[in-house]
Amino acid sequence: MKTISIIDAKNHVDEEVKIGVWLTNKRSSGKIAFLQLRDGSAFFQGVVVKSNVSEETFEMAKELHQESSLYVVGEIHEDKRSPFGYEIEVKSLELVGESQDYPITPKEHGTEFLMDHRHLWLRSTKPYAVMQIRNEIIRATYEFFNKEGFIKIDAPILTGSAPEGTTELFHTKYFDKDAYLSQSGQLYEEAGAMAFGKVFSFGPTFRAEKSKTRRHLIEFWMIEPEMAFMHQEQSLEVQEQYIAFLVQSVLDNCDYALDILERDKEVLKSYTKTPFPKISYDEAVELLQNSGEFPDTKWGDDFGSPEETYLAEHFSMPVFVLNYPKAIKPFYMKPHPTREDVVICADLLAPEGYGEIIGGSERETDLDNLTAQIKKAGLNEKDYEWYLDLRRYGSVPHSGFGLGLERATTWITGEEHIREAIPFPRLLNRIYP
């Protein structure tokens, strides 16, 4: 007799198998019991018919509590009445671990309660589906960048100075020196690109901002590709191909999870068509002014989330907004060749109100300009000597971008809030569990 996973049940129809499972719910009548089972691979039902099993087995089935762990032995049957398509007709049960008073009942719960029990909530169907899709995005990310000739160069998490100097950093000690948790690996990826051509990092990022929105986490995961000998136009092509690849991979490999979440697959499919629409910042401002909804928009403003939502909804597609004002962007971005007031950059705004999922730019290559920008930003030039070396020794045009894993996951899964898109979210007031 084989031990299998629920997800493989379809390959064992009418066979007797053994499965290690947890009980999610139970319904029983006098002579039949329905056990709702999960094993991490999927969810399905075990049917215990009194006349087919020993008295002890039927009694045990009736006494099981929610989230008890057990081995079930039985025969797999195809059954149209099961939402999963298959179920197991139980022959015998073996209790592994008892469970008493499981807090998450099959009824409604509030956000705070569920988040306090996140370690248990992960067992429920929705977190299961979201984490499957998150995993597929991670897997597809490695596949995409490896097939495109990138290598993964890890940026340090502990840094000695503020990479951008703007956002709030988590302070810690590095023996007797001050240190900060990384809020971007980008500058290190630029060093990587000068050594290996095409590189990417994929690691945790920390922002000590007092952000409290559905789009922000204190700790999140970021994918930061950086490419040498590459101008912004080519970088945008990489970005749209990457996003389309992610969405297609989820469509190809996460059908079951998408069904659980009731995500519209036709809508997702539309996001795999490249190229994505592109508008300049100037055009975006005009569009907002003429929309009637944002009459106060002025050139030079950064867009808030209502503005981002409007822009992406206008195209019903992920849309690139190009070349923002220099004043609202970081020091390392390359100035526009014919315009003083904008830099060569692009944000990718996701549709359906999910906002910015990618921020990217072509980087300043000129040593003198970059030095001047660092000073102007009020940063300590000494901290950036290594970064300036990249311009001293064979500086080349290069571009890169950063994608927020959880923002992308929230968008692709269609979840309301980014906290659902990471196993243990770190939020403004939450560091437990």
Partner RNA sequence: UGCUCAGUAGUUCAGCGGUAGAACGCUUGACUGUUAAUCAAGAUGUCGUAGGUUCGAUCCCUACCUGAGCAGCCA
Q: Are strands 16-28 and 32-38 parallel, antiparallel or unpaired?
A: antiparallel
Going from the C-alpha of 92 to that of each of 52, 124, 354, 355, the distances in angstroms are 10, 25, 48, 51
Note whether 189 binds RNA by CB under 7 A: no
Pick out residues in 319-358 that bind RNA (CB under 7 A): 328, 347, 355-358
Note whether 392 binds RNA by CB under 7 A: no
CA 390 to CA 367: how far, in whole Å? 9
Q: Which stretch binds RNA (CB under 7 A): 5-13, 81-89, 151-159, 192-200?
A: 81-89
Note whether 316 binds RNA by CB under 7 A: no
Question: Out of 3, 54, 111, 270, which residue is the one contacting RNA (CB under 7 A)?
Answer: 111
CA 223 to CA 184: how far, in whole Å? 10
Note whether 281 binds RNA by CB under 7 A: no
CA 209 to CA 213: how far, in whole Å? 11
CA 140 to CA 80: how far, in whole Å? 33
Q: Which stretch binds RNA (CB under 7 A): 118-126, 289-297, 298-306, 372-380?
A: 298-306
| 161 secondary structure, DSSP code | S
Nearer to RNA, 85 or 160 (CB): 85
Q: Which stretch binds RNA (CB under 7 A): 111-119, 133-141, 255-263, 392-400?
A: 111-119
Question: Out of 59, 78, 83, 146, which residue is the one contacting RNA (CB under 7 A)?
Answer: 83
CB of 411 to RNA, least distance (A): 10
Which among 104, 99, 34 has a CA at the least distance from the CA of 62?
A: 34
Question: Out of 67, 87, 136, 226, which residue is the one contacting RNA (CB under 7 A)?
Answer: 87
Q: Which stretch binds RNA (CB under 7 A): 122-130, 231-239, 252-260, 297-305?
A: 297-305
CB of 119 to RNA, least distance (A): 15
What's the CA angle centered on 38, arms 422 and 134, to 5 degrees? 25
CA 126 to CA 416: how far, in whole Å? 12
Question: Out of 18, 109, 126, 336, which residue is the one contacting RNA (CB under 7 A)?
Answer: 109
Note whether 166 binds RNA by CB under 7 A: yes
Q: Indicate if the alpha-carbon torsion angle 264, 148, 277, 407 is positive or negative.
A: positive
Q: Which stretch binds RNA (CB under 7 A): 9-17, 47-55, 170-178, 377-385?
A: 47-55
| Cα 164 off chain centre by | 23
Number of residues in contact with RNA, rule: CB under 7 A? 72
| Amino acid at site 416 | E
| Amino acid at site 131 | M
Q: Which stretch binds RNA (CB under 7 A): 10-18, 263-271, 332-340, 402-410?
A: 402-410
Note whether 54 binds RNA by CB under 7 A: no
Pick out residues in 203-242 that bind RNA (CB under 7 A): 207, 209-217, 220, 222
CB of 39 to RNA, least distance (A): 17
CB of 201 to RNA, least distance (A): 12
| Amino acid at site 48 | V
Pick out residues in 60-79 that bind RNA (CB under 7 A): 65-66, 79
Question: Out of 14, 55, 97, 108, which residue is the one contacting RNA (CB under 7 A)?
Answer: 108
CA 403 to CA 383: how far, in whole Å? 26
Note whether 256 binds RNA by CB under 7 A: no
Measured over all CA atoms, what is the biggest interatomic distance in the chain, rounded to whole angstroms?
86
195-211 in b/e form (b: 16+ CB < 10 A) is ebbbbbbbbebbbeeee
Note whether 171 binds RNA by CB under 7 A: no
CB of 268 to RNA, least distance (A): 18
Note whether 106 binds RNA by CB under 7 A: yes
Question: Out of 1, 107, 376, 394, which residue is the one contacting RNA (CB under 7 A)?
Answer: 107
Note whether 113 binds RNA by CB under 7 A: yes
Which among 119, 103, 129, 125 has a CA at the least distance from the CA of 44?
A: 125
Pick out residues in 6-35 that bind RNA (CB under 7 A): 25, 27-32, 34
Structure tokens at 326: 């220099």
Q: Indicate if the alpha-carbon torsion angle 376, 377, 378, 382 is positive or negative.
A: negative
